[in-house]
Amino acid sequence: MDTTDIFERLKNGETILSGDSQANSMREAAFATKRILLQMNDTADPNEVRKLLSEITGSEIDDSVTVFTPLHINYGKHTKIGKNVFINFDCVFLDIGGITIEDGVLIAPKVSLLTEGHGILPKDRQSLIPKPIRIKKNAWIGAGATILQGITIGENAVVAAASVVSKDVPDNTMVGGIPAKIIKTF
């Protein structure tokens, strides 16, 4: 049995099997995050939003960051947010696998960043498979887009609204559709 902290194992990309002795600590952490999210999503004060988001992520959120709540995060400590980032209403961040949002990123309403997955076979379905998402500088994620686990969105890239991104997006590229495909480069 692995005695390494479950959150360290998740951050390292290790699959967590069903019945893991530390699995309950993931639920406890999610409920602790939810308590702070309730406060954060109930204030209109941008400074209070940044303060509470800093508490959720365990890192300082820069004054240049704007977050329109509600924002939904299941853990928070594996999310890193750069400077001059804009996050619009009603986004969902499942960050157990790690989310990095670099400087100048724009995230439209109802965007989902999903770093977690499960095994395809029924016997493996209760396992949790984490893979990080990285959104590089100046990328723009359009409304209702879904970014799946293990994806990197390139610098200056654009993800069209309602797209599902299941493959890495190169720098200076626009993608769209389900699954997202390259529309143009610039």
User: Residue 3 — very low, low, confident or very high, per pLDDT cuts 50/70/90?
Assistant: low
Is 118 part of the annotated catalytic residue set?
yes
With respect to residue 83, please indicate whether it lies within any of the assigned structural domains. Answer: yes
Provide Rg for the chain, Cα atoms.
Answer: 16
- Residue 2's pLDDT is what? 53
CATH of the domain at 35: 2.160.10.10
- Residue 18's pLDDT is what? 86
144, 164 Cβ separation under 8 angstroms: no
List the one residue out of 25, 115, 113 whose CA is nearest residue 72: 113
- Residue 166's pLDDT is what? 98
Q: Domains in the chain: how many in total?
A: 1
The one-character DSSP state at 69 is S
With respect to residue 144, please indicate whether it lies within any of the assigned structural domains. Answer: yes
Task: Please pick, among 27, 118, 125, 181, the residue that the annotation labels catalytic.
Answer: 118
Range of the domain at 138: 6-185
User: Residue 4 — very low, low, confident or very high, per pLDDT cuts 50/70/90?
Assistant: confident
Report H helices in the chain. 6-11, 23-40, 46-57
pLDDT tens digits, residue range 127-181?
Answer: 999 999 999 999 999 999 999 999 999 999 999 999 999 999 999 999 999 999 9
pTM for this prediction: 0.96
178, 184 Cβ separation under 8 angstroms: no
With respect to residue 39, please indicate whether it lies within any of the assigned structural domains. Answer: yes
pLDDT tens digits, residue range 58-93?
Answer: 999 999 999 999 999 999 999 999 999 999 999 999
Written as one letter, the residue type at 58 is: G
pLDDT tens digits, residue range 90-139?
Answer: 999 999 999 999 999 999 999 999 999 999 999 999 999 999 999 999 99
With respect to residue 1, please indicate whether it lies within any of the assigned structural domains. Answer: no
With respect to residue 160, please indicate whether it lies within any of the assigned structural domains. Answer: yes
